[in-house]
Amino acid sequence: NDYADRNVDGQVERTKSRPIVSGLLSSKQALITAASLAALAFILVLFLNTQTIYMSSVALILAIIYPFMKRYTYLPQLFLGMAFAWATPMVYSALEVDFSSITWLLYLASVVWALGYDTLYAMADRDEDLKIGVKSSAILFGENGLKMVVTFHVVVLLILFLVGQQLHLSYWFYLGLTGAATNVNHQIWVAKNCEPEKCIQAF
């Protein structure tokens, strides 16, 4: 991600101290580091079943393309969510549990959750991103950014409620869900004026 943004991060106050921009790592060193970490991760995957090994290739593709999406789409956060959430079906595969509607509901919840929290994150950089010329969901939603963050989080909570219903989970689950909803409410209250530092704090 830092490699993809090496010519951008220096123009954003909050990211100008990142390793490549600050000179702690060269671009070559950053790529070597990323490749080494990916190789170590793949070694871990080799201890799992064949299907999960194949699925890890999708995870790798998503991880590679995500950082470049802000050049081509106003929803790079969607690709971030798809990359992070891919862990959900991979866990089902690794445990050799059949995929079900629950699998994909959890995947969808994770994707939408990323849309919510990373839009909040992007709202802090919206003005600078506009000057630089990169895209984000915060730019796409404009003044409705915080409303969309609320919408995404409500959708996540509803999906998780539906999962709880389908799995006949106990009241402990719904107590946890209530706690999550309370936390979301606090985040929105913190970011209510859409001030950059408050959006980061809420994130």
User: Could you give the residue ranges of the DSSP H alpha helices within the chain?
Assistant: 19-22, 27-45, 50-65, 76-85, 87-94, 101-123, 126-132, 137-141, 145-167, 171-190, 196-202
Between CA 193 and CA 197 the distance in angstroms is: 10
Residue among 87, 77, 83 at smallest CA distance from 123? 77
State the DSSP string of 110-141. Answer: HHHHHHHHHHHHHHTTHHHHHHHT---HHHHH
Between CA 14 and CA 199 the distance in angstroms is: 13
pLDDT tens column, 104-146: 999 999 999 999 999 999 998 888 888 888 899 999 999 999 9
Q: Are 63 and 34 in contact (CB under 8 A)?
A: no
Please tell me whether the overall predicted TM-score, pTM, comes out greater than 0.85 for this model.
Answer: yes
Q: How confident is the model at residue 178 (pLDDT cuts 50, 70, 90)?
A: very high
pLDDT tens column, 14-51: 777 888 888 888 989 999 999 999 999 999 999 999 99
